[in-house]
Chain A
Amino acid sequence: MFGYKNRFESGAIVVGGKHLGSTVQCVHCGSHEHIIPGSGRKRGHCRYCQGFLCGKKICLQHCIPYEARIEYEEALFGKKDETIKKILNRYPALNKLTF
């Protein structure tokens, strides 16, 4: 796919038909951020997930992978008590979050 230069890129921005930039996805909340080198914006890196963090306080404070958040939401909806218990044991901060 065009714009795919390294493993840190997660999305491509095309304006007026020209590829102008790339986005990187936060491994905790799943948001995409447009990285502008030299902007001074402080973000982060999770050493457990080995991935980029968007810089939101909640993402910097707790290591809860994006997939775990989605599975937790789905388990709540499906009332899968065993799965909820299993995910909460692994990521206890998850029940403090809204998604």
Chain B
Amino acid sequence: MGAYKGWGQDTSTPSTTIIQLKQPATALKRLKTTNINIGSDVSADSAFEAVIKRSTDAGTPGSSFTPTKHDPADGAASGVFNVAHSVEPAYTANSELLAIFAHQRAGFQWVALPGHELVIPVTNDAGIGLFINTAAAPFNMGASFEWEE
């Protein structure tokens, strides 16, 4: 089992996806999200509300980030990491996995204890996304997911 990390930035406009981790089209593996980091490179005052939700397609990502391996001896990640969508992914209703209420000035981190990760099943295009519900004033948000597969 390898551990991987992906990160990206986008403006935290309400109803937008900052980052998304999803299954590839082929060679799927069960993805287990262990760590979520959210922060900003701008010092200003804006509270925000975000959720981690299950998605069922890729939408139209602005870019894809090549996941970083924690252990150089591991193979390339099978998880696809998408950033800054122009068309949002389709989300499953009532599939919120984690609600985040935080502030721009304080970096937010969530860490899963072993055995309690957010699991993405081996199903084509299944994924999770960091979705912004509300932000007092949209700002440049940076976020990362770490996962095992």
Contact = CB atoms under 8 A, between A and B. Distances in A.
Interface of A: 1, 3-4, 9-17, 23, 25, 30-34, 56, 58, 66, 70, 73-74, 76-78, 98-99
Given A23-B98, A31-B98, A34-B99, A11 B111 contact: yes
B9 to A, nearest CB: 20
Interface stretch (B40-48, B64-72, B119-127, B140-148): B119-127
A4 B54 CA distance: 26
A13 B119 contact: no
Contacts of A74: 30, 121-123
A84 to B, nearest CB: 13
A15 B107 contact: yes
B127 to A, nearest CB: 12
Given A31-B96, A34-B99, A98-B93, A12 B122 contact: no
Interface residues of B, number: 29
A15 B109 contact: yes
14 contacts: A11-B98, A11-B112, A11-B116, A12-B110, A12-B113, A14-B109, A17-B107, A30-B119, A32-B116, A58-B94, A73-B123, A74-B123, A76-B123, A99-B92
A83 B114 CA distance: 27
Interface of B: 30, 54, 92-99, 102, 105-114, 116, 118-119, 121-124, 126
Chain B binding site: helix, strand, loop or mixed by DSSP? strand
Contact of A10 (B116, B121, B124): B116
Given A30-B97, A31-B96, A15 B108 contact: yes
A75 to B, nearest CB: 10
B126 to A, nearest CB: 7
A33 B106 CA distance: 20
A34 B52 CA distance: 14
Given A74-B121, A99-B121, A1 B97 contact: no
